[in-house]
Structure 1
């Protein structure tokens, strides 16, 4: 029997489990290592932050997928990988051997430096957007702090990162906090290290997003990189202090530190280098997909690419288990991005093309709901956060 181990329960691995559920491989034992029975779908997270859906409605039922695929689910984090020995060490210390493996563990963020060491209470509250698994408890803590604020107080909410994630998250968080505490004034600001929002997008989508940010009262600081947290704000690369009470950190994606001694080839940011087949460079039978993979040429760290990789990864894992030649995955030349603006509207960005409106928000909701429903059995809508 061939031991195939999936490390992580990202979007690409959902497709792998679906494929093996539909057509099992009789000579393959399938194991999934995931810290949770539920995995967040990144496309729906901003809607949850904006109070437009329950947390459970953003999650893929990993345990249910494993059951349908005949896979063993191990609810732990991987702590170490030895690629040469084909061995994974779990956080419990247990060791597992594999013949084939695939990594779909997402990314984490390089956290800002802290310029004040003695009084953490003076630092702004930081909500890091990655890893997604840590977002829910941190968000609940922030909401509890906001609920305890005195009436007529002011909170300055600053997002560090001018990409789609930073902008969409800021608009979602402002919408929810303002609805939650209408007696508190929430002022929004966004720091973008680039000279323009949405690097790589066309002029029209950037203009539409800028308009949405202005409508939400967000002041955009272009060409400003957030470097560190300091007393009462964020320190820029120029040494300026941007006032902040709440900081949304959505920049500086890096690979997980526990992969550093794996023996896998990684790029300068710690992501696993992969060939066009999604096989790790120089490591036959080990694959990576989604944000944790470093494709050449580099791809944006966005969930849509993990979704596009998923079916191809499933097919190549099947080929590898049968000792058949692998095939190359071809990234799409451009992808459609739908960015919620927290007010019942969304912006579409497709290369140079762009549009906005309530109809796009309804379309985004339908797309996200269909994606999650694809992998989930029906569940009780009356439960969840």
Structure 2
């Protein structure tokens, strides 16, 4: 371990914190982007959730290759490379918006996901080794607060900049237009993405230069293996492989909670549907803050994971049974906030953020426990590959919603996800042999 004092870890934590905010801002724009592109490109639910497929599948495809890239570039230069790749992805949105071509949007999202894969593969193990392993969940929670705060900010910025006067693009308004007027209106709507993504590209370039010339030290993870791919030895660690599966379930559940809520609210007639991802992220921030206070002083990482999974199961049942017209919970408990109210069923989806908050920071150190330095990089890459859950499970949700014509019932898909996480919390992380 390169960094072992509180003072020497402060600067790396600050720099990595800025990167985690960047992760969150880019990632959680998708929650607002999905209903936007559904209107602009005239998509079904299944087609709209190709956004999450294109974005998150990059993690699966690129995680292991990027771990090999990091061995050559080092972690610091790898972060710079990741930011530059993200800049390219942002620039692809400009021709996509000009042409209103959904496939080009998806290409830009996949490039953005590739850049984030490099950053995540470097940053997450960095946070684990920067201090004592037993407090790793606290450090990851601190990064999570920044990540999810960005998730609160991003939909608000997107709504204010891109979704203003969105009522003129409602289904009824578009249906009343002639074909030529409708096409012109949708091209105008699509072109709203050009300026914000151009600005994002510029900011990513500036951030890459900042990281490149910062005094960020290189973490010492031991002598890395030069083997490519996955060695048989890494597969012999059940706590890691089951952790990968649990993380797959978690990321799928997290993305469903954050990225489907906007389209779900839009279908229920919620006016501020573009901001709903902020509600989910707000509850995640609350969950992270609770975790920072309680772990490990009052509650262990495994107990926190048990509580999180149980809460997710309860919320899934509540969503299935709730009335779409009932605002009672918001009126009783949250009216004092002054924030625009939402139906109970949408609030329960947002509360998944509270259930999900502590899952990622708990699983990472539990899954990597017992791995030697040579295995940590590959183990981290496998955990990053589990982010594929964010590509596949939301697509499955969208497919079920289209088949059943019922987005509310489709949230029952969350129950098996949380049941597996509960198993990992009780037993899976303790296993040391198959």
Place the TM-score, normalised by the shorter chain, in its bin: under 0.3
Identify, as 1 or 2, the structure richer in helix: 2
Identify, as 1 or 2, the structure richer in strand: 1
Q: Normalized against structure 2, the TM-score is what? A: 0.22
- The structure with higher relative contact order (CA 8 Å, sep 6+) is 2
